[in-house]
Chain A
Amino acid sequence: MQLTNRSKVVSNKEQSFAEKIYLPAIISGMATTFSHLFKKRPTIMYPEVKKEYAPVYRGQHVLKRDENGAERCTSCGMCAVACPAEAITMESGERKKGEEHLYREEKYAKKYEINMLRCIFCGLCEEACPKEAIFLTDKIVDAEFERDTFIYGKDKLVEKIDKRIDVTKRQTPEVLEFKKRVGLRHNELNKTIEKKH
């Protein structure tokens, strides 16, 4: 019974002379390969030329400082809660007198670690952050030789004062507006925290 009309009868016919001596097929094949000599190549010479990333590419994290150079992170732990891979750990500290130029709020992250081997670069930490402190950048996490070195501390995560990282592309007004929307989990959490205070 014929179910579809896609079936093909297999032909096992004898090769013709032209097929037997292979030459016509070989010549047409060689013409094909020769034409590829002049085609455009998709190769990107990597270390010298880099492929452009989207402005919202999710790469290595950065802990932002504010306009005065003080760390924005207040060690609330929202990012750690949001992190599906449980890659973020932190330890809070209290700001002393005279450290106002270092930390924006009274509570700050004494230790802030992201395990880059656990991180799946989903960007939920960025979304959860109420202080606009953590962002993902378009930098790719470097290769390392040891597993321990993949746990990035504040020395690697906090942006350098003289080398600020531009995140305006991912911190557009729309994004900020979106983050305030009622019903997002981090907003609910924020409210409960505020109520406690």
Chain B
Amino acid sequence: MLIEFIIYKSIICVAIFALSLGIAAYSTWWERKFAGLLQDRWGPSRAGKWGLLQPLADGGKMLFKEEIIPSVSNKVLFVLAPGLFIVTAIIAGVLIPWAKPVMIGDSIYPIQIADVNVGVIFLLSVGSVGVYGIMIGGWASNNKYSLLSAIRSSAQMISYELAMGISLIALIITAGGTLSFAEIVAAQDAGFANVVWQPLGFLIFFVCALAETNRAPFDLAECETELIGGYHTEYSAFKLGLFLFAEYINMFVSSAVMAGFYFGGYNFPFANELYTALGLQEGHWLISLIGFGAYFTKTLIFISVFMWIRWTIPRFRYDQLMNLGWKTLLPLSLLNLLITVIVEYFRGNINF
């Protein structure tokens, strides 16, 4: 039994780890391809068909470049930072319930690494730890641009975490008071996806997710025009690669979180009717596969939207960023919370 459990968990861990890395690698390809398409170009087209080998070429380049550690830097922290950044980015992925549980024999195997019962809080805390990678990296570089970037980035993340947290409270009320990711997704099986009840909440969460992942228009941490490269100015070779890679993993995870929290994850309209029409029993592996396909498609769409936004909107100024975070998003999320409570009271989901 224990052996079985360990094998099953290892398989799923390795699979999701590989998935995260693979998606992150191919996000870099799709980012460039999509940017090209939006700008009337073709994007990468030389490495393999449609440039599909581009991530390999980029990775190879990063691996074989000269690695420079500035002599004035704090070496331990300098080396630690990219690792910390990428580890926190990957850790957040353990929560995502990719599909309905599979039943083999009598035992149930959820397609999820860990169903933490305080999943939402875990997610927020891991997200907050993510800022340490940038902060430590920027500080350890001993470069004023990196330091400025690190300060900016941490201020930005703290400001937007607030609105994000409050919009998530409203979501939890709608989802029936559970903090577990798997249960939030499962609750959307019958009825509507949460976005129907939480349109404003979703919008706030989306904007905050952009800010949390340091994506444009909130990429003040990198900000080439002002800060050279921001927190990774001094980084080279694969350490730089890890930073860039972690950004894409972050994006992948937050896309998956949005798809799960607000768009029903592996559920889709008329899913149960489809399964009955196909004659599939609860727990059949095909149900999980179709559900995984639905979830994955939603995630990819969100990743594309992230990129679409990046290549549309110019970067915010620092004061605009703070104004938006504190004066617009925070009051809006509080308003959203109020409306949610009133609506849920009349729907009969809350009792005082």
Which chain A residues in 1-51 approach chain B with CB under 8 Å? 20-22, 26, 29-30, 32-34, 36-37, 39-43, 45
Which residue of the partner chain, among B38, B41, B42, B328, contacts A33 with CB atoms under 8 Å?
A: B38
- Please report the C-alpha to C-alpha distance between residue A1 and residue B193 in the assembled complex, in whole angstroms: 65
Contact A21 B328 (CB under 8 A): yes
Which residue of the partner chain, among A22, A37, A45, contacts B37 with CB atoms under 8 Å?
A: A37
Contact A33 B312 (CB under 8 A): yes
- Contact indicator per residue, chain B 130-154, by CB within 8 Å of chain A (1) or not (0): 0000000000000000000000000
Contact A34 B308 (CB under 8 A): yes
- Contact indicator per residue, chain B 306-341, by CB within 8 Å of chain A (1) or not (0): 001101110000000000100010000000000000
Contact A20 B312 (CB under 8 A): no
Contact B42 A29 (CB under 8 A): no
Specify which chain B residues have a CB less than 8 angstroms from the CB of A45 in the assembled complex.
Answer: 42, 45
Inter-chain contact count A-B, CB under 8 Å? 35
What does DSSP make chain B's interface, helix, strand, loop or mixed?
Answer: loop
Contact A20 B40 (CB under 8 A): no
Specify which chain A residues have a CB less than 8 angstroms from the CB of B311 in the assembled complex.
Answer: 33
Which chain A residues in 35-75 approach chain B with CB under 8 Å? 36-37, 39-43, 45
Contact B309 A30 (CB under 8 A): yes
B39 at the interface (CB under 8 A from A): yes
Which residue of the partner chain, among A20, A32, A36, A41, contacts B42 with CB atoms under 8 Å?
A: A41
Specify which chain A residues have a CB less than 8 angstroms from the CB of B312 in the assembled complex.
Answer: 26, 29-30, 32-33
Which residue of the partner chain, among B38, B45, B328, contacts A37 with CB atoms under 8 Å?
A: B38
Specify which chain A residues have a CB less than 8 angstroms from the CB of B42 in the assembled complex.
Answer: 41, 43, 45
Which residue of the partner chain, among B40, B309, B328, contacts A39 with CB atoms under 8 Å?
A: B40
Specify which chain A residues have a CB less than 8 angstroms from the CB of B313 in the assembled complex.
Answer: 26, 29-30
Which chain B residues in 119-172 approach chain A with CB under 8 Å? none
Specify which chain B residues have a CB less than 8 angstroms from the CB of A22 in the assembled complex.
Answer: 324
Contact B41 A41 (CB under 8 A): yes
- Please report the C-alpha to C-alpha distance between residue A126 and residue B308 in the assembled complex, in whole angstroms: 53
- Please report the C-alpha to C-alpha distance between residue A20 and residue B316 in the assembled complex, in whole angstroms: 13
- Please report the C-alpha to C-alpha distance between residue A22 and residue B38 in the assembled complex, in whole angstroms: 21
Specify which chain A residues have a CB less than 8 angstroms from the CB of B45 in the assembled complex.
Answer: 45
Minimum CB–CB distance for A170 against chain B, Å? 34
- Please report the C-alpha to C-alpha distance between residue A120 and residue B68 in the assembled complex, in whole angstroms: 43
Specify which chain B residues have a CB less than 8 angstroms from the CB of A29 in the assembled complex.
Answer: 312-313
Minimum CB–CB distance for A43 against chain B, Å? 5
Minimum CB–CB distance for A148 against chain B, Å? 31
Nearest B residue to A30 via CB reads: B312
Nearest B residue to A43 via CB reads: B42
- Please report the C-alpha to C-alpha distance between residue A5 and residue B204 in the assembled complex, in whole angstroms: 46
Contact A42 B40 (CB under 8 A): yes
- Please report the C-alpha to C-alpha distance between residue A40 and residue B41 in the assembled complex, in whole angstroms: 9
Contact B40 A41 (CB under 8 A): yes
Q: Which residues of A contact B (CB under 8 A)?
A: 20-22, 26, 29-30, 32-34, 36-37, 39-43, 45
User: Apart from A36-B37, A37-B37, A39-B40, what 4 extra A-B contacts exist at CB < 8 Å?
Assistant: A21-B328, A34-B308, A37-B38, A40-B40
Q: Show 16 residue pairs from A and B whose CB-CB distance is below 8 angstroms, ordered by the A residue.
A: A20-B328, A21-B328, A22-B324, A26-B309, A26-B312, A26-B313, A30-B312, A33-B308, A33-B312, A34-B308, A36-B37, A37-B38, A41-B41, A41-B42, A43-B41, A45-B45
Q: Which residues of B contact A (CB under 8 A)?
A: 37-42, 45, 308-309, 311-313, 324, 328
